[in-house]
Amino acid sequence: MAMAELLTTEQYKKLAKELKFPSKSIIDGAPVSAASGRTYSTYNPATGELLAQLPACGAQDVDTAVACARSAWADGRWAKRHPADRKRALLRLADLIEQHALDLSILESLDSGKTIFDCQTVDLPETVNCLRWHAEAIDKIYDQVSPPSNDHIALIVREAIGVVGLVLPWNFPLLMLAWKIGPALAAGCSLIVKPAEETSLTALRVAELALEAGIPPGILNVVTGSGPEVGEPIGRHPDIDVVSFTGSTETGRRFLKYAAESNLKEVVLEMGGKNPCIVMDDAEDLDSVASHVVNGAYWNMGENCSAISRLIVHADVKQRLIEKIIALAESWHVGDPLDPRNRIGPLVSEEHFGKVQSYLGQGERVLYGGTTSEGRFVHPTILELEHNRVRPAREEIFGPILSVITVDSLQEAVEVANDTDYGLAASVFTANGKRALRAARSLKAGTVTVNSFGEGDITTPFGGFKQSGFGGRDNSLHAHDQYTQLKTIWLDLSGSETGEL
């Protein structure tokens, strides 16, 4: 997809004034209020300005959405459509999102505090790419045939699972929506989406575009409201077949409990990280290493489950590397997210700002930054830690704070890297190919990058080990496993003793 054309702040602000903000949930193809009539306010994290009042839905609204999704599933209005038809509709949705990319980027930036630069150059293009990729897969996935005996043949087929609950985080509202709805719609499921309360606007807009694209009513339902009031009823609903969740490990754990206490629905959890980046003394091109570290640590304000949060660096290169990181971080301007020169916007909420701030001023040596500015802005920060047992090394901060831990060998580096409850992503920089591969194989993480840091790609599975992940993967064809189940169909070929047909 071509690089989006960036405008001036004044142009973005003018367009923002003309935007129409969604104000209803979407159930069965129609805009609806909460059954209780209650609403909540959603604000622009950069200015505190009120953006919209949205329905504060609850269990009754979840019941309605599930009943609609179930009846849409039962009559086959989406699941039983010809695969080529489903593919066309999903491609059309991707096209419509692309046509509305500028408006959606502004809406996303206003709602979440993400910079317009990131929204236009990453979130929107990747959202479109993700939906197209899964749409294209619809008529290219084949089932299997197994040879259990000479007298039998068995078909191993994948069937769409049915009604799906998708509970989303606030850090990549559109992109995480796409990561979940792309494969779920491709599989033919009916969906109930619960966006994060703070960042629901773009999901609602996408649900409107889905109807325009020809995805039938009742297939993509979006129910707004809080975690306890909408998320929990989804988790506990007896007529939902699978929940796919992205968010904190603490909330992910709750979904396992909800499932255990209800219908044992399948649960897929994509949760936090405390991602190590190992840099050895023989790492080539420290300028490039520094650039990967800065991107990995500060992109999206560090509000990223796969952000680099622990730099585990060999003593012999530490000083030089830190100097280069600081020089690059200087160009990560902090401020108005609608200014396309800025790379760091505000944190998403007052509560989250408070959490991130709580890691500053706690006695760790500040090598860079450590400051905040009015309006929930945290400046790119580097903390030097004496060891891996202190709070900033153990807890997911989810802000632009990089912790540095010094080591003397690759062995020690891998031990420190693995000394965490999380296991989402890791990276290792060394010129020695064999050692790099050995380290990659020893690192307990769902994704390991060697001599680079990458967020992955639609073609590669994304998910974690240990308390970072459970039950499945987003992205790639493996994502379809979340929304399908395997069925074996045996065919009897016996009957001829002589071998005659």
Ligand X SMILES: NC(=O)C1=CN([C@@H]2O[C@H](COP(=O)(O)OP(=O)(O)OC[C@H]3O[C@@H](n4cnc5c(N)ncnc54)[C@H](OP(=O)(O)O)[C@@H]3O)[C@@H](O)[C@H]2O)C=CC1
Ligand Y SMILES: CCCCCC/C=C/C(=O)O
Q: Give the residues lining the site for ligand Y (CB under 6 A).
A: 122, 126, 169, 171-172, 246, 270, 304-306, 455
Only segment of 155-163, 166-174, 183-191, 339-347 that touches ligand X (CB under 6 A): 166-174
270 is an active site residue:
yes
| Beta strands at 163-167 and 190-194: parallel, antiparallel or unpaired | parallel
Q: Is 396 in the site for ligand X (CB under 6 A)?
A: yes
Residue with the shortest CB distance to ligand Y: 305
**Alpha carbon distance 501, 492 (integer Å):** 14
Report, in Å, the least distance between residue 462 CB and ligand Y. Answer: 7
Interacting residue with ligand X among 24, 236, 237, 352 (CB under 6 A): 352
Q: Specify the residue, 76 or 228, whose C-beta has the smaller distance to ligand X.
A: 228
Report, in Å, the least distance between residue 249 CB and ligand X. Answer: 8
Binding mask 46-85 for ligand X (x = CB under 6 A): ----------------------------------------
The DSSP code sequence of 365-407 is EEEE---EETTTEE--EEEE-SSTTSHHHHS---SSEEEEEEE
Among ligand X, ligand Y, none, partner that 455 touches (CB below 5 to 8 angstroms by kind):
ligand Y
Q: Which of 98, 197, 270, 364 is catalytic?
A: 270
Interacting residue with ligand X among 54, 160, 168, 307 (CB under 6 A): 168
Only segment of 90-98, 189-197, 363-371, 413-421 that touches ligand X (CB under 6 A): 189-197
Q: How many CB atoms lie within 10 A of CB 136?
A: 14
Report, in Å, the least distance between residue 243 CB and ligand Y. Answer: 16
Tokens 């994509």 locate to 270
β-bridge partners, 220: 191
For 260-375, where are the E strands, in sequence order? 266-270, 275-279, 308-314, 365-368, 372-373
Report, in Å, the least distance between residue 390 CB and ligand X. Answer: 17
Q: Is 120 in the site for ligand X (CB under 6 A)?
A: no
Helix (H, G, I), strand (E, B) or coil at 275: strand
Q: Is 372 in the site for ligand X (CB under 6 A)?
A: no
* Cβ–Cβ < 8 Å for 391, 370: no
Interacting residue with ligand X among 66, 93, 271, 428 (CB under 6 A): 271
The string over 96-122, giving b where at least 16 C-beta atoms fall within 10 Å of a residue's C-beta and e elsewhere, is bbbebbbbbbbbbbbbbbbbbbbbbbb
Among ligand X, ligand Y, none, partner that 306 touches (CB below 5 to 8 angstroms by kind):
ligand Y
Burial class (CB in 10 A: 0-12, 13-18, 19+), 292: buried
In the chain, count H helices and then E strands: 17, 22
Among ligand X, ligand Y, none, partner that 197 touches (CB below 5 to 8 angstroms by kind):
ligand X
Interacting residue with ligand X among 29, 113, 169, 173 (CB under 6 A): 169
Look at the chain and count its residues: 501
Binding residues for ligand X, total number by CB under 6 A: 27
Q: Specify the residue, 257 or 487, whose C-beta has the smaller distance to ligand X.
A: 257
The angle at the Cα of 336, spanning 334 to 340, to the nearest 5 degrees, equals: 85
Report, in Å, the least distance between residue 371 CB and ligand X. Answer: 20
Q: Is 87 in the site for ligand X (CB under 6 A)?
A: no
For residue 117, CA distances in Å to 4, 325, 326, 447 come to: 9, 21, 21, 26
Among ligand X, ligand Y, none, partner that 364 touches (CB below 5 to 8 angstroms by kind):
none
Q: Specify the residue, 160 or 196, whose C-beta has the smaller distance to ligand Y.
A: 196
The DSSP code sequence of 198-213 is GG-HHHHHHHHHHHHT
Residues 293-312 that bind ligand X (CB under 6 A): 305
Q: Specify the residue, 298 or 398, whose C-beta has the smaller distance to ligand X.
A: 398
Q: Specify the residue, 170 or 258, whose C-beta has the smaller distance to ligand Y.
A: 170
The DSSP code sequence of 36-95 is T--EEEEE-TTT--EEEEEE---HHHHHHHHHHHHHHHHHTTTTTS-HHHHHHHHHHHHH
Q: Specify the residue, 396 or 481, whose C-beta has the smaller distance to ligand X.
A: 396
Tokens 């317009």 locate to 116
Q: Specify the residue, 250 or 287, whose C-beta has the smaller distance to ligand X.
A: 250
Q: Is 162 in the site for ligand X (CB under 6 A)?
A: no
**Alpha carbon distance 462, 466 (integer Å):** 14
**Alpha carbon distance 69, 65 (integer Å):** 6
Residues 193-252 that bind ligand X (CB under 6 A): 194, 196-197, 226-228, 231-232, 235, 246-248, 251
* Cβ–Cβ < 8 Å for 172, 203: no
Report, in Å, the least distance between residue 147 CB and ligand X. Answer: 42
Question: Which residues are part of the catalytic machinery?
Answer: 270
- Binding residues for ligand X, per CB under 6 A? 167-171, 194, 196-197, 226-228, 231-232, 235, 246-248, 251, 254, 270-272, 305, 352, 355, 396, 398
